[in-house]
Structure 1
Amino acid sequence: MTNRLFDASVAPAAVPEADARGPWAYLWWLVRIRPWPLVLSAVLGTVWMVPLALVPLVIGRAIDEAGRGAGQGGLYLWSLTALGLGVLQAVAGAGLIQAAVSAEAHALSYTHRVLVRQVVRLGATLRGKARSGDVAASAAADVESIGNAFEVVGRTIGAVFAAVLVAVALTATSPVLGLAVLIGVPAAVLGIGPLLRPLQERDEAQREHMGVATSQAGDIVAGLRILRGIGGEAGFAERFRRTSQEVRRAGESAGRMEAWLQAAGVLLPGLVTVGIVWLGARLALQGSITAGELVAFYGASAFLTLPVSTATEAAETLSLAKVAAGRVCTLLRLTPAVTPPVHPQPLPPGPPALTDPYTGVTAEAGRLTVVTAPTDRTGELADRLTFPPVAGDGTPAVLLGGVPLDRVDPAELRSRVLRSGPADALFSGTLREELTGRTDRSPEELDRALHAADAADVVEALPEGLDTRVDEGGRTFSGGQRQRLVLARALLAAPDVLVLEDPTSSVDAHTEARVVERVAALRAGRTTVVFSDSPLWHGVADREIRLGADRVPGSTDRSAGVPS
């Protein structure tokens, strides 16, 4: 059942409005609303990385203590210190994993929730504002990229702090070597910078191609039966193959740049390590530093490859997260075609009447009205009767119980008025969950709705009845079965006003006859509008309305027996 309105009752109320001004603003918003997992991750990342940085220095000191021949006490002391650092690193590492995963889960969860809330707000208008592939890619790949960025932050902060600590310690031991570290390590990190912009551009190109491919794949799957019927299956398959090759080429281009980035992350710090070891060896030969200090310098310089590689990973991850956050912000900045009124008017109790001053369609309260209109206009007319007009379209709003639709609170409108048409889909889950939606429907009400839609035989043929899981889109059902189940879902909702668009177009005449009689009986006393040119529907109608292409209606009121 389509929807273009925002229902505040289903919004994640605990999540504030996201800052969608830009990718960095959005990522900073994620940090602000729940900073503690990220702070804890940074603290534990530092506690985990610092012992790893100090171990070479401790080992070097132990070697010097042993070389002086001053006894075993100093050697034991420094050995125990190295052991203690190892234990501390192990404990901090276990906590870091949990904190990093918590920060990642926070970013994933909140991004998913704001995306779902935005999709609910946009409703059916989303189709005209964004490709389905873009939405699917944001809900999968983009959300994952943002989560990865939050996972790496703790380790990166710890790596930076440990690198600074090592540089200070080395400078205190040998100013020459310390200066080499202070210059070499930042230079290695900065040397990676020129590769980030090309990587980001290629990631954006790949993401764009992925969105197109996902949209095409969804269209093909949804229309596979039609494509087979018109012989277009091979043509669309070839079109998708070409698109998938574009995705592959874009992915290979991004992968090559990522490989260069990874190679630079190994080469540049490796050169720094080689230079520091060479310089340290010369200082050791000159007697400027001891053998233990040389070992400490070598171990420290080897350790410094870890902060550089971590910084490389962080730069790459943040680059991908920036692209992903930009895509998310693009979706979040979309606005619904209709905005809720500032001061909504309540609807009168009971089944209200529908009056459209633009087309002249009037559905009286508690009666069944059948409207015949040009096929290409039924969707537009059904939209008019159930949704407020888009601002600036120049047409007056439909009156529901005398209240203009654009003055009605969206939540109340959704609970009182329901439109069901051929575009409605069946979602994944058990058939019982799919049909009931809400939990306050009794088994008797469900049976009556299935009986009225003549769908009881569909349920009986399923291996587990109502507990059978429905495939995405209800692909395992035929067109007629799917239409009857969708109709049963609409009837079970029991709205005060039900607008049906061609509800029996995919069933045979005998089934349609049963559905028509049963729906008319079940909906007695409630306002029902059916768009159909079937004589069977006209046979049970309380009121018939015929609309021409020029939108000038002619109607016959059966109860009055005179033209209305």
Structure 2
Amino acid sequence: MTNRLFDASVAPAAVPEAEAGGPWAYLWWLARIRPWPLVLAAVLGALWMVPLALIPLVLGRAIDEAGQDTGQAGIYLWSLLALGLGVLQALAGAGLIQAAVGAEAHALSVTHRVLMRQVVRLGATLRGKARSGDVAASATADVESIGNAFEVVGRTIGAVVAAVVVAVALTLTSPVLGLAVLIGVPAAVLGIGPLLRPLQERDEAQREQMGIATSQAGDIVAGLRILRGIGGEAGFAERFRRTSQQVRRAGESAGRMEAWLQAAGVFLPGLVTVGIVWLGARLALNGTITAGELVAFYGASAFLTLPVSTATEAAETLSLAKVAAGRICNLLRLAPDTVRPAHPTALPAGALALADSDTGITAAAGRLTVVTVPADRMGELADRLTRPGAGGGPSAVRLGGVPLDRVDPEELATRLLRSGPADILFSGTVREELTAGSARSREALDRALFAADAADVVDGLPGGLDAWLDEGGRALSGGQRQRLVLARALFAAPDLLMLEDPTASVDAHTEARIVDRVATLRAGRTTVVLTDSPLWRAAADHVVRLDAEPAPGGTDRPAGVPS
């Protein structure tokens, strides 16, 4: 199970549900579901760091052997031991890199997958629950911060083990110096602690500003053509400039605190080294320790700066990871508007009828129904008819005779498709964009393109179906994008297709062709079109007109008037 869990061919659903109760709970969950890379990195980290700590002690012993004039055997023995420690360190270092990268890749992969699963789970409701910039920043900067924390674990554990080994070895040689190490090193590490909280707060502030700036940049890019049309480029550019300056100031504030943290990581262990060398020199002058032991103490004390600097790096990295994990937990705790009922009811097979007792809308199974509704209420009505709990009583909207809130969301997603102006084109080839990995035939795709009058759009692109689309289809006109989106919806061939003003961006001649072809292609399947177009009304099997009229209690509700 462990090997398959992170295989690239396994669907994201194979990853267990993440623990989103808090940042530390999430990081511990990541470590617990696949601990072996971290365990291996910790073992190799110790094997890499301990030889580095022992080499000064071995060299000091070799110096003492040379001073005793007892022959060359002792010198050769200690020299070979130093060489062996060097070889062990080199091999362990090579393995540590691979294990650390493996632990980092695990954290990156799993966090990306749980985020993607949550985004898919929230669907269209995500836009109203979180800023797009926060989602983008979590998928990039936050995930990277968590990966960095997993990468540093092995080296940190190795540094702790090595520091303990050095302290024990020095204590056996000189209890006074050993006690100085046992007190000085933890004191140096603890001295860094007061800087972590301010760093974390400033990182959080910078992360918040980055999310705002990313959201604004996305909005500007998405609406660039409109901004140019109304002359609003300069105003939005100035707004983004102010936001980017806030991001810069927040980054500078976090950078200053990080610089203080790095300085403390050099200064505090330096003080410990100076103190130990001074004390060792006094003991050597008094004859308490030998010259070789003094060299060993100096080398060991100089080595101790490495564990302290590693601990400083780990503290900083974990601080950033905590902020990142907290942001990711905020996204994971968002609940979709549609939840699976305790006892879902299966939909009947084939075409599905749609009925809303509150609005009076009825759409017979296998027929084309056109609903005329004011443009400002079209999205609200589409939400009501396709999303459980979006409005009305719990059983007001029925699909195939089944209350919408009693349908399993997964079955609903496969049987009912809503397509409207909020739909976008993603980056990729035209074929990938239109088929979304479906195994339906090329003939089915050709029929969908013909019905949406989009065959000429594809033929006009270099490479046809293999042409590359930029995100959002920016290189296409509004009408071309709308026709490709419609072709994608038609190719999916759902049992009930709801279209929101699907021909708003095309001319009348193109609209007439699309209306006629869609009616032919969708014959026998239920299609509901929300529009005020007379061409769609003329082709409909059934038309429902909705006019705003006051409902009891002073609120407005649409009233259905079939014709």
TM range (shorter): over 0.9
Instruction: Report how far residue 14 of structure 1 moved.
Output: 2.1
The answer to whether residue 302 in structure 2 is matched with residue 302 in structure 1 is: yes
The answer to whether residue 357 in structure 2 is matched with residue 357 in structure 1 is: yes
Instruction: Report how far residue 72 of structure 1 moved.
Output: 0.6
On the 8 A contact 1:188/1:308 being kept in 2, the answer is yes
SS in 2 for 1:549: strand
Aligned positions of 1:150-549 closer than 5 A: 150-390=150-390, 394=393, 396-549=395-548
Q: Which residue of 556, 560, 563 maps to 1:553?
A: 560
| Alignment partners' CA distance in 2, 1:37 and 1:421 | 46
Instruction: Report how far residue 396 of structure 1 moved.
Output: 3.7
SS in 2 for 1:427: coil
Q: Which moved more, 1:146-155 or 1:110-119?
A: 110-119
On the 8 A contact 2:366/2:525 being kept in 1, the answer is yes
| Alignment partners' CA distance in 2, 1:278 and 1:295 | 12
Q: Which moved more, 1:226-235 or 1:305-314?
A: 226-235
Instruction: Report how far residue 415 of structure 1 moved.
Output: 1.1
**RMSD, aligned CA:** 1.2
| Alignment partners' CA distance in 2, 1:294 and 1:413 | 77
Instruction: Report how far residue 439 of structure 1 moved.
Output: 3.1
Instruction: Report how far residue 267 of structure 1 moved.
Output: 0.6
AA matched with 2:461:
L
SS in 2 for 1:336: coil
Instruction: Report how far residue 308 of structure 1 moved.
Output: 0.2
Instruction: Report how far residue 395 of structure 1 moved.
Output: 5.7
AA matched with 1:355:
A
The CA deviation string for residues 418-460 of structure 1, in whole angstroms up to 9 with x for no partner, is: 0100110101111101101133111111111111111111111
Q: Which moved more, 1:224-233 or 1:264-273?
A: 224-233
| Alignment partners' CA distance in 2, 1:363 and 1:190 | 70
Match of 1:84 in 2: 84
AA matched with 1:552:
A
| Alignment partners' CA distance in 1, 2:533 and 2:548 | 18
AA matched with 2:560:
P
Q: Which moved more, 1:244-253 or 1:395-404?
A: 395-404
The CA deviation string for residues 317-375 of structure 1, in whole angstroms up to 9 with x for no partner, is: 01111111111111111111121111111111110110011111101111111111111
The CA deviation string for residues 147-179 of structure 1, in whole angstroms up to 9 with x for no partner, is: 111110110011001001001101111111111
| Alignment partners' CA distance in 2, 1:21 and 1:409 | 27
| Alignment partners' CA distance in 2, 1:401 and 1:230 | 46
AA matched with 1:404:
P
Match of 2:126 in 1: 126
AA matched with 1:160:
V
| Alignment partners' CA distance in 1, 2:510 and 2:13 | 44
The CA deviation string for residues 83-133 of structure 1, in whole angstroms up to 9 with x for no partner, is: 000100011011111111111111111111111111111111111111111
Q: Which moved more, 1:409-418 or 1:308-317?
A: 409-418
On the 8 A contact 1:388/1:397 being kept in 2, the answer is no
AA matched with 2:562:
S
SS in 1 for 2:261: helix
| Alignment partners' CA distance in 1, 2:266 and 2:392 | 60
SS in 2 for 1:419: strand
Aligned positions of 1:25-40 closer than 5 A: 25-40=25-40
SS in 2 for 1:389: coil
| Alignment partners' CA distance in 2, 1:71 and 1:469 | 77
The answer to whether residue 112 in structure 2 is matched with residue 105 in structure 1 is: no
SS in 1 for 2:12: coil
TM-score norm. by structure 2 comes to 0.95
On the 8 A contact 1:389/1:397 being kept in 2, the answer is no
On the 8 A contact 2:122/2:335 being kept in 1, the answer is yes
On the 8 A contact 2:395/2:404 being kept in 1, the answer is no
| Alignment partners' CA distance in 1, 2:392 and 2:377 | 17
On the 8 A contact 2:338/2:409 being kept in 1, the answer is no
Instruction: Report how far residue 281 of structure 1 moved.
Output: 1.3
SS in 1 for 2:498: strand
On the 8 A contact 1:363/1:527 being kept in 2, the answer is yes
Change (3 A) 1:380 1:395: farther
AA matched with 2:547:
G
| Alignment partners' CA distance in 1, 2:145 and 2:437 | 34
Instruction: Report how far residue 495 of structure 1 moved.
Output: 0.7
| Alignment partners' CA distance in 1, 2:73 and 2:306 | 32
Q: Which runs of 5+ in 2 are unaligned?
A: 1-9, 550-557
The CA deviation string for residues 251-285 of structure 1, in whole angstroms up to 9 with x for no partner, is: 00000000000000001111111111111112111
AA matched with 2:241:
R
User: What is the aligned residue count?
Assistant: 546
| Alignment partners' CA distance in 2, 1:332 and 1:150 | 20
Match of 1:5 in 2: none
Match of 1:12 in 2: 12
| Alignment partners' CA distance in 1, 2:165 and 2:436 | 58
On the 8 A contact 1:284/1:291 being kept in 2, the answer is yes
On the 8 A contact 1:145/1:321 being kept in 2, the answer is yes
| Alignment partners' CA distance in 1, 2:319 and 2:94 | 27
Instruction: Report how far residue 542 of structure 1 moved.
Output: 0.8
The answer to whether residue 110 in structure 2 is matched with residue 114 in structure 1 is: no
| Alignment partners' CA distance in 1, 2:341 and 2:118 | 18
Q: Which runs of 5+ in 1 are unaligned?
A: 1-9, 557-564
SS in 1 for 2:66: helix
| Alignment partners' CA distance in 2, 1:265 and 1:530 | 66
On the 8 A contact 1:369/1:529 being kept in 2, the answer is yes
| Alignment partners' CA distance in 2, 1:296 and 1:363 | 88
| Alignment partners' CA distance in 1, 2:362 and 2:508 | 28
Relative contact order, higher structure (CA 8 A, sep 6+): 1
The CA deviation string for residues 267-311 of structure 1, in whole angstroms up to 9 with x for no partner, is: 111111111111111211111111111111111011000000000
SS in 1 for 2:14: coil
Instruction: Report how far residue 393 of structure 1 moved.
Output: 5.9
AA matched with 1:554:
V
